[in-house]
Structure 1
Amino acid sequence: MKSSNGHFRSRGEGPESSVEKREGRAPAPEGAGTDGQASYEDPWQDALTPGWGELDGTGAPAPDVPHMRTEQEGTGRVADVYLEVQRSEAFREVRRRYRRFVVPGFAVFFTWYVGYVVAAQTAPGLMARPVAGSVNVAMLAGLGQFLTTFLLTWAYARHARLRRDRAALDLRWDTQELTRGLRGGER
């Protein structure tokens, strides 16, 4: 049977995995685990992560996965582009709009949440007061927590879409264009 990585798997004759091939171990009998107990057959058993013990076709282990790129010539200039964008008025305006929404929104929601927890601990009589049937003040306030969470999420997404996304996308586009020109990568 051919496995997902193109190697043929044998049924009982020869090593079953690349680990057994390297270490020279005999394969386990079909249907038996390492301790002789029945085991299931894992279809991904020999689908190794690239560079982990696979052979390169000549019998030698495949080379390791390459590391991240090292700094190239001109990287300092690319960093300067990002610093320039960060210092720009457009970037400061996007950050200002973000803070104008998030800081008051956080303050209101956190106060509402802490108020609910404090009221539940310090005023159990108030929280146990029935409103309609078996529904009490605590249940309504708890449901209000969920409602305000969804409301705040909706308001944040709307604010971002209407007031920040276009400006942030423009900044991103400009930054990519400037860095692409410095790296010499035209597409």
Structure 2
Amino acid sequence: MSATDESPRGSSPSGAAPTPYEQMQASPEFKALRNRWRRYIFLMSGLFLGWFLVYVLLADFAPSVVNARIGGSNFTVGLLLGLLQFVSTFLIAVLYAKFAEKNIDPDSEALRAQVEEKL
């Protein structure tokens, strides 16, 4: 079989029966699972990128705000915001783990079991 006999993305050659994995990809359950995952990922990515953009724009266009000292110490608003970037990254990872455990993993396990039954 030549490389031209296969269609893009590794699917079956034309006329051949689809593999169990390809059948699973075409199922409404898989599409719903994928859409649920994408909605969550795009939402969290957008929120994080927006939060990061606010931090960068404040540093660039409002240096007096970022350089303001907190409570008479050497700790500034910019330093606090920078540290909160790390906290928000960790929080997003924890939230994703909980979301996946509750909303993604059970359905993906069921789909995997269906595919393994057909193998």
Q: TM-score, normalised by structure 1?
A: 0.52
Choose the corresponding residue for 2:50, options 80, 100, 111: 111
Shift of 1:98: 0.4
1:160 is aligned to 2:79: no
Pair 1:169-2:109 in alignment: yes
Match of 2:75 in 1: 135
How far is the alpha carbon of 1:134 from its aligned partner? 1.1
What is residue 80 of structure 1 aligned with on the other side? Answer: 19
Secondary structure of 2:70's counterpart equals strand
Q: Note the alpha carbon deviations across 1:41-82, whole angstroms, 9 max, x for none.
A: xxxxxxxxxxxxxxxxxxxxxxxxxxxxxxxxxxx54x4322
Q: Which amino acid aligns with 2:31?
A: R
Question: Distance in 1 between the 2:26 and 2:84 partners?
Answer: 41
Moved over 4 A (4+): none
Identity %: 30
Aligned to 1:185: none
Q: Which runs of 5+ in 1 are unaligned?
A: 1-75, 180-187
Measure how far apart 1:94 and its partner are: 0.9
Letter in 2 for 1:159: F
Unaligned residue ranges in structure 2 (runs of 5+): 1-15
SS of alignment partner, residue 168 of structure 1: helix
The structure whose Rg is larger is 1
- Report Cα offsets for 1:99-148 as digits up to 9, x if no partner: 22111111110011111112112211110001121111001101110111
If the length of structure 2 is used for normalisation, what is the TM-score? Answer: 0.80
Residues in 1 aligned to 2:95 and 2:32: alpha-carbon distance in whole angstroms: 19
Determine which structure has greater relative contact order: mean sequence separation of CA pairs < 8 Å that are 6+ residues apart, divided by chain length: 2
